Amino acid sequence: MIDNRFKIANKIFKSRLIVGTGKYKSFSECAKAIKTSGADIVTVAVRRVNISNKNKARLMDYIDPKKITYLPNTAGCFTAEDAIRTLRLAREIGGWKLVKLEVLGDKKNLFPEMIETLRSTELLTKEGFKVMVYCNDDPLMAKRLENAGAVAIMPLAAPIGSGLGIQNKVNIKIIRKQTKLPLIIDAGIGQASDASIAMELGCDGVLINTAIARAKNPIQMAEAMKLAVISGRKSFLSGRINPNLFGSASTTNKGII
């Protein structure tokens, strides 16, 4: 039996759609999109989004952290030291221990630097953080992250912000089969069908930012992504028919005239 609850680090969430808070035209637009999406987890780039300076507009003024779970992330970090320092700061500001780790290898492709990512996961876990890890779609490395104490595996579908959709379904399927941790597609989603495909592959959720924030109509796209995640999950749970190269009549020959 498949446990249909979306549980991360022993906390249960209603929505399987996680939404980023960057790239919107305003905090107001961001808040509207998140409300429409139904998401109850939002990622927050600690180094880029104002969450502490009360003299300037703060994300918290628009999205209540008592109602929506904030997931601090380390966007913009390229070393383990920077990532760890950033998340320690997040813990000091808001007491957050459930975090998203993101250690990048370069500024052009924004692929994860997996050696630094693995090292960061080990160190942060020892400090009591519950680490959700952005990673490549390598099944071997995903298993190492799980063994290092990660609470969720978050492989990219394609480069961050590319909108290319899932490029390697085979690896995602392998990671799904070998891990009991929540598997969340992170980065590369471009349209609602991409989100639905991720869920049909057996992923537990998807994280989307650019595809919503940069859409011509972010609010409408947020709703589309919400419905796509729900639809994809229902499709996965329903159990698809086996693919067949040949046609099969919808009705039997019994009683044929």
- Which helix (H) or strand (E) is 36 found in, with range? helix 27-37
At 95, list the tokens. Answer: 């007491």
The answer to whether 153 touches 174, Cβ cutoff 8 Å, is no
Planar angle of CA 191, 197, 203, nearest 5 degrees: 115
Q: Give me the helices (H) in 127-217, please.
A: 139-147, 169-178, 192-200, 210-213
The answer to whether 48 touches 75, Cβ cutoff 8 Å, is yes
- Name the nearest CA neighbour of 211 among 226, 232, 230, 231: 226
Measure CA 74 to chain center. Answer: 14
Q: Per the residue annotation, which of 25, 35, 67, 100 is the catalytic one? A: 100
CA distance 78 to 141: 18
Residues found in the chain: 257
Whether 177 is a known active-site residue: answer no
DSSP letter assigned to residue 179: -
Characterize the bridge pairing of strands 11-13 and 6-8.
antiparallel
Residues involved in catalysis: 100
